[in-house]
Amino acid sequence: MTLQWLTALIFIGISSIINGQPALNDTIFFMNGDILQCDIIDDSQIEVVFEFQKRKRRKQLGVHKSEIFGIINNGVKEVYYEENEIVGDDLTISEVEVYLAGQRDARELYKTKKIFYTGLGVTLAISIAGEAGLLAVTVPLLIYPAAQYIPYIKIKGETIVNPNHKFNLIYAEGYEGVARGKRVMAALKGSAAGTVIGAFFYRLVLQ
């Protein structure tokens, strides 16, 4: 079992104890970097059926194996991912583990509050200054989220769980993809909120 898998299992186990949740014996590692503690019910050739805890209730779900990197079922590790250059899966198993670690760290630790509040403030001001006109409402709402595809994603050391990944290009690729998506969503939410608040403020207070 690799260090990444072991670290993830320890973290999930501690979280379950703290939250007072019943123990779930198996683990699924998804291709998007997510890790789910669950009880695997069926492992067929096509999909994995499992039960997981959500809001203190158990739910059952089936997921196609193409969406799963690997599982730990009854303490036995099994990897579903296979290197296949024909379909674009050209990374080795160890490289995919690093890539998924990048995705996971970005999803859990990359912060986008600054992006949200900047979008809120800028679009709020433009909406009011533009008298809640069509261009003042729509243009910033489109431009600010789209602009998040441009800047370089800086990976801060404190968001890297495993220090060995610090200068790893594969890790950075996984991290940047998720981080950029989070930036776009934060920008979209912030600019939408700012536009709506600005339009209402202008029409109800200033007009």
Mean pLDDT, rounded, for 86-114: 92
- Among candidates 86, 90, 68, 85, which has minimal Cα distance to 77? 68
Average pLDDT over the chain, rounded to an integer: 86
- pTM for this predicted structure: 0.79
> Using CA of residue 36, residue 40, residue 41, residue 47, what is the dihedral sign?
positive
Q: Which residue from 189, 135, 147 is spatially nearest to 197, judged by alpha carbons?
A: 189
Q: Report pLDDT digits (tens) over 55-71.
A: 878 899 999 999 999 99
- State residue 8's pLDDT score: 54
Q: Is residue 95 scored above 70 in pLDDT?
A: yes
Give the pLDDT score at 103. Answer: 95
Q: In Å, what is the CA distance from 10 to each residue of 22, 122, 162, 176?
A: 15, 43, 14, 25
Per-residue pLDDT band at 163 (split at 50, 70, 90):
very high
Q: Where are the beta strands (DSSP E) in the chain?
A: 26-30, 35-43, 47-54, 57-64, 68-73, 76-79
Secondary structure (3-state) at 20 = coil
Between CA 18 and CA 149 the distance in angstroms is 38
Each residue's pLDDT tens digit, 32-42 = 989 999 999 99
pLDDT tens, position by position, 191-201: 999 999 998 88
Give the C-alpha separation, 174 to 6, whole Å. Answer: 20
